[in-house]
Structure 1
Amino acid sequence: MPLPLPRRWTARRTAGAALCAIALLPLLAACGSDDEANGPGGKTQLTVLAAASLTDVFAKVGDAYEKEHPDVRVRFSFAGSQDLAAQVRQGAPADALVTADTKTMAGLRSDTGDPAVIARNRLVIATGEGNPRHVKSLQDLADSDLKVVLAAPEVPVGRYSKKVLDAQHVHVQPVSQEPSVRAVLSKVKLGEADAGIVYVTDAATAEHRIDTVAIPDAQNAIASYPAATLNSSRHGAQAAAFVRWLSTAKAQKMLHNAGFQRP
């Protein structure tokens, strides 16, 4: 399970429950004192657990927020939403949470404040550069000769993918099921898969290394991104201020420019 790292960190694949438990130990140790919760210069340090698909845009969001709030430093830990939920349940020290679906957030209602949807997203088929296997639609993913990678069903993008495939009666036997949308994208970029289903925004970050095949609106799914404070936060007021800021015009413009749809 990923640790809170500098905001430009890219989500890595988790390696199972045992490693997740080990990975949490440094996070829990970080709860020692009030001084340890502060960043350089005595700034309040906020730790935000965020869905992997927000990795690139939140780097910019964090910079913009810190410029407007010079007394606050924001750190992000990016992973699949299901991994973030596990961190919360296991007591990892953090201040706010942003997931890629409302279901995961709803499962943590006793651990969070009232969530607010800050953005929405859609799915797209990612293929190798130049689309060498000539994928044209969801139906093509059923080809047994095609190496398709999907996110695991407990991952929001995996759940959305299953929903759209089932609705079109398309049966796909994936070569692997990944722990996050970024892991799916990586498999396609590296040529380890011919195609995969990812979010539009993630595909945009690799536009020179992959091609995309649009999924028609009538066949697509809408991903909603709720944000909420964590009840365990030691900086409740500052965490709430950050969550509210994500709905401001400035933050919304940054999300929109990254390809996210407005709430």
Structure 2
Amino acid sequence: MLLALTACSSSDDKSSDSATPSAASTNSTSASASPQVSGSITVFAAASLKESFSTLGKQFEAAYPGTKVTFNFGGSDTLAASITAGAPADVFAAASPATMKTVTDAGDGAGTPTTFVRNQLEIATLPGNPQHIATLKDLTKPGLKVALCAKTVPCGSAAQKALTASHISLTPVSYEQDVKSALTKVELKEVDASVVYQTDVKAAGGKVDGVQFPESAGAINAYPIVALKDAPNATAAEAFIALVKSAEGRKVLTDAGFLNP
């Protein structure tokens, strides 16, 4: 009987020992299938995304402790040129498909860009709208100083599209390299008005007033986003894009005034 008990005990121990490596192996396989998000990423994004993406960057760092998101905000055309020239970046979020095409045509995108939001133009005026600007055509009033985004920048291209469709000829006092610069001209009272995005008017708070105009409905910009082919941190890049497109990301963006894609 003692021999039988000893044999059973020995058999159970061996069975238990053989099960342990199997479980460890399963856990190891599971862990390797889900790469850990860590390290730093650099996101090149259109200037109009500054406030909302800065918020999402903080959310990303909180969700993945130890990560760091660095942003480069600016005119989409300038950012695209930097990427095709070899500037190191992980993610590109543009304010128009045309500027994104510059990057994908050069073979610098990883995968197909997806539209995550849209944006609509609005006229930014001085607080209280002292010049009583009510329409797009009002921007042509004699003596009125207006700033526009450069024609190569998505906000400038959209503004030109709205003006052309309305048969309005407008010569601004300055063309700015990104939408934030155009908005700043109004905030500093260097111009009476500027054509910017509705998100920028909202972000400015009481520093400017916003005037909607119907022609803007025909010049809405789609915003595409893509991970870059030579991204130094491809895993984190995909995780950041996933956050942008998630329900949480969509809420941050729509709260900022962006339209659904």
Match of 2:109 among 108, 112, 127: 112
d(CA) in 2 for partners of 1:218, 1:47: 32
Residues 129, 218 of structure 1: alpha-carbon distance in 2 compared, 3 angstrom cutoff: closer
Match of 2:148 among 142, 147, 150: 150
d(CA) in 2 for partners of 1:62, 1:259: 18
Report how far residue 216 of structure 1 moved. Answer: 1.8
TM-score (norm 2): 0.82
Q: Which has the higher helix share?
A: 2
Q: Tell me if the contact between 2:122 and 2:196 (Cα under 8 Å) persists in the aligned partners.
A: yes
Report how far residue 241 of structure 1 moved. Answer: 2.0
Report how far residue 133 of structure 1 moved. Answer: 0.9
Unaligned runs of 5+ in 1: 1-41
Q: Aligned with 1:246: secondary structure?
A: helix
Residues 165, 63 of structure 1: alpha-carbon distance in 2 compared, 3 angstrom cutoff: same
Higher alpha-carbon Rg: 2
- Write the letter of the residue equivalent to 1:237: T
Identity of matched residues, %: 40
Q: Aligned with 1:165: secondary structure?
A: helix
- Write the letter of the residue equivalent to 1:67: A
Residues 198, 233 of structure 1: alpha-carbon distance in 2 compared, 3 angstrom cutoff: same
Question: Which runs of at least 4 in structure 1 moved beyond 4 Å after TM superposition?
Answer: 217-220
2:60 matched to which residue of 1?
A: 65
Match of 2:82 among 78, 81, 87: 87
Q: How does 1:35-54 map to 2 (within 5 A)?
A: 43-54=38-49
Q: Tell me if the contact between 2:41 and 2:232 (Cα under 8 Å) persists in the aligned partners.
A: no
Q: Tell me if the contact between 2:162 and 2:216 (Cα under 8 Å) persists in the aligned partners.
A: no
Q: Tell me if the contact between 1:144 and 1:173 (Cα under 8 Å) persists in the aligned partners.
A: no
- Write the letter of the residue equivalent to 2:109: T
Corresponding position: 1:241 with 2:234: no
d(CA) in 2 for partners of 1:70, 1:159: 40
2:95 matched to which residue of 1?
A: 100
RMSD of aligned residue pairs (Cα, Å): 1.5
- Write the letter of the residue equivalent to 1:221: A
Corresponding position: 1:74 with 2:63: no
Q: Which stretch of structure 1 is more off in the superposition, 238-247 or 127-136?
A: 238-247
- Write the letter of the residue equivalent to 2:163: L
Q: Aligned with 1:172: secondary structure?
A: coil
Match of 2:125 among 99, 124, 127: 127
